Structure formats: C-alpha cells, structure tokens
Amino acid sequence: MVKLQQNQGAGGPSSSLGIMRFFDVETGGPKLSPQFVVGLSVAFVILIMVLRITIFKS
C-alpha cells in the first residue's frame, strides 16, 4: 500500500507546470499584436463581402 505524505506544500499538478514552462519560452518569428490580427481579420471579411456583392452577384 502506498503511504501518502502530508504537508508537501500547495503545488499544482505537474502538467500545468509544464504548460507554463512551454509558453514562457520565447521563439523566433514575427511578433504580431492581437489588435493587428483582429483588424486584419475584419478587413479580410469586408473584402470578401465587397467581392461577393460586386463580382459574384448571387
């Protein structure tokens, strides 16, 4: 039978600790702000709507 030890501290699960270490690592590549990504997405949607209205009339 496995005996559990008491008073080991208030640590989180080991899987959550590994996830935090993974996302703290700086990697190479382009640095994009969230505002830029949202703005680009909105512009793309507007472009598709304009093309659908003007060229691909349905």
Mean pLDDT of 3-20: 55
Top mean pLDDT of 3-12, 17-26, 45-54 is at 45-54
Half-sphere exposure of 10 (CA within 13 A, CB side): 0
Per-residue confidence at 36, pLDDT binned at 50, 70, 90?
A: very high
Mean pLDDT of 3-30: 61
pTM over 0.75: no
Whether the predicted pLDDT of 25 surpasses 60: yes
With the C-alpha atoms ordered 36, 42, 45, 49, is the resulting torsion angle positive or negative? negative
